[in-house]
Structure 1
Amino acid sequence: MAWRIVHVKDGDVLRLRLDNIEIHKLDKKVYVPLSDITMIVLEGNRTTVTTKLLSRLSQNNIGLVICDDSYLPVGIYLPYGQYHHNSKRVINQANWTKAQKQSAWKEIVGQKMTNQIQSAKLLGVEQSRLNLMMDLADGLKEGDVTNREGHLAKVYFDSIYGKTFTRDDDVFINAAMNFGYAILRSCMARVVAASGLVTMLGIFHKNEFNSFNLADDLMEPYRPLMDYWINKNISEEKDYLTYESRLKIIEFMQQKLEIN
């Protein structure tokens, strides 16, 4: 089973060598089996990727993420039509009813809110704030028509970062979360495409200019887990997100999980 995210900073050439990706960087060559890889993240402006490698990445359901000059993921290359009943699944997706979407969204944001409460608890948030968040979660309705998720998120971020904090602030912690969420989004988009679903057709998100509405829906419960990982592992020593910090954030996707 694929598990590895390969991060390439200022590489020279990426090409296919048998069933491996061959990475040229300066005078070195590194080989990674394609069967191990879930995603490749590229930084820098000099890297060349061969079309033969791109073709094999699609066949192996490997996502390719491109970062901009600020190291934030801005593009993703996904496999096309690899699922065996792709058309059938897309037709079913397009026919999801309003009731089905409302029920699914309740499950999604319900899990997100549960994870926010647990993350806040592990980060030492006081009990009175946890109780307020639990009360908000208890009132969740189909489709979250009363926006309990938004109200709980406000309490959640205020409790961890202070009441003056907003997600629009130009601060280190937001840079870290933005990078982490972008990696989460890319990984979720890869899973959606591999499942034969269309990334544009969402459950709650429905922005006509967004090509990843469904990925944005499905990644919601994982945001608080990323928040916790960042708070526990990324120190605010710099006023910018260092290369080492970006690697540590990517490590979140490679953690072992205990199931049952």
Structure 2
Amino acid sequence: MTDDKIIDIADSVVSLNVRLANLVIDCGDEIGKTMVPLNEVAALVLSNPHVIMTNAAIAGIAASGGIVVVTDSKFQPAGMLLPLDSHYTQGERFRMQAAVALPVQKRIWQQIVRSKIQAQAAVLKRLTNHDGGLPHLSSRVTSGDTGNHEAQAAQRYWPAVFNNPHFRRNREAPDQNRLLNYGYAILRALTARTICGVGLHPTLGVHHHNRYDPFALASDLMEPFRPLVDEAVARIVFEQGDGVPLGKDVKKSLISGITGLIEVDGETRTIFSILAKSASSLVAVYSGEKKKLFCRSGK
């Protein structure tokens, strides 16, 4: 894609159609119509229950490699449309993915957890000028994280990132958890899209195996990127409080926090580029071509 965009339809009653390979967003008022090339739509998020969308729009986004996410009243994903045929060796890769040995899955999860904790440490360093001792925890993560260092890091991380000793990650809480829910929903959708793009199935995870999670692999692969959302939410809360409405401006800030430029291995990349490289490296690990998953650094 030339210019990936995340489009959130939340504040207006709109109709969505396709014209000349463009997604047409018709607000039916003084705003008029907006046209976005289909091949630039990375994700279309439908947060408004009164959206009218044609089959041509749904099919056009999917055919171009984009995704459609429908959220509930709490901005959690209630449904997600992913491209059905996004890679020419998809069937072969599904079978390879299903046959991956448990030791390989555990090694992948070790690398994911280490990268996540390093990213959390970097967020704390930027927000509080102290890393909370998380780099040391990261170095102690073993295969499969049998010592549950991810949870140990979370116990230090969450109270520090919001400067609140009582804060807990709770999806149902009416505080900044609402903003985290929304940001993670966007991140999970982008990750699932990338996984499909390399011919893997987002349901077959390496660690997450919740029978009710249809995107277990996306939940795995997105872990090192969650701190992008956390930092964006923390900055919003510090400025506007934890009761800030999840309106247009807040959503824009969250999306900017996710899609902004990230430094990895001395290079500046977008989330789309990093996720694509991470998913491609996962295929290489599954096939035995590589031992190490490409994960973002903490920078």
Note the C-alpha offset of 1:243: 2.7
CA apart distance, 1:257: 4.0
Structural mapping, 1:104-253, within 5 Å: 104-126=108-130, 130-131=132-133, 133-161=134-162, 162-168=164-170, 170-233=173-236, 235-237=239-241, 238-253=243-258
DSSP 3-state at the match of 1:202: coil
C-alpha deviations, 1:228-259, integer Å up to 9, x for none?
12222453344532232122212233323452
Asked if the contact 1:172/1:240 (under 8 Å) is kept, the reply is no
1:150 CA displacement: 0.7
Residue 79 of structure 1 and its aligned partner are, at CA, apart by 0.6
| Cα distance, 1:137 vs structure 2 | 1.7
How far off is 1:201 after superposition? 0.5
Does the CA contact (< 8 Å) of 1:12 and 1:24 recur in 2? yes
Number of the residue aligned with 1:34:
38
Q: CA contact under 8 A between 2:65 and 2:83: conserved in structure 1?
A: yes
* Cα distance in 1, alignment partners of residues 75 and 253 from structure 2: 14
Tell me whether 87-96 or 239-248 shows the greater mean CA deviation. 239-248
- TM-superposed CA distance for 1:110, in Å, is 0.6
Opposite residue 113 of structure 1, the aligned amino acid is I
Alignment partners' CA distance in 2, 1:94 and 1:112: 25
| C-alpha deviation, 1:171, in angstroms | 4.0
With the length of structure 2 as denominator, give the TM-score of the two structures: 0.81
Q: Distance in 2 between matches of 1:126 and 1:108?
A: 22
Paired with 1:221 and 1:231, the residues of 2 have a C-alpha distance of: 17
Q: Take 2:105 and 2:60, find their aligned partners in 1: how far apart are those partners?
A: 35
User: Which residues of structure 1 form unaligned runs of 5+?
Assistant: none
Q: Does the Cα contact within 8 Å between 1:102 and 1:142 map onto a contact in 2?
A: yes
Deviations 1:204-232 (A, max 9, x none): 00111210000000000001121112222
TM-score, scaled to structure 1: 0.92
Offset from partner CA, 1:119-155 (integer Å, 9 cap, x none): 111111546xx23x23322211011011011101111
Distance across 1 between alignment mates of 2:69 and 2:3: 16
**Aligned equivalent of 2:261:** 256
Q: Matched residues, percent identical?
A: 27
CA distance in 2 between counterparts of 1:36 and 1:257 reads 20
The CA deviation string for residues 162-213 of structure 1, in whole angstroms up to 9 with x for no partner, is 3221112724221111111111111111111121111110000011121000
> Would the aligned equivalents of 1:171 and 1:239 in 2 still touch at CA under 8 Å?
no
Other-structure match for 1:13: 15
One-letter identity of the residue aligned with 1:241: L
- SS of structure 1 residue aligned to 2:68: strand
RMSD over aligned CA atoms reads: 1.8
The number of residues matched between the two structures is 257
* 1:21 alignment partner, SS class: strand
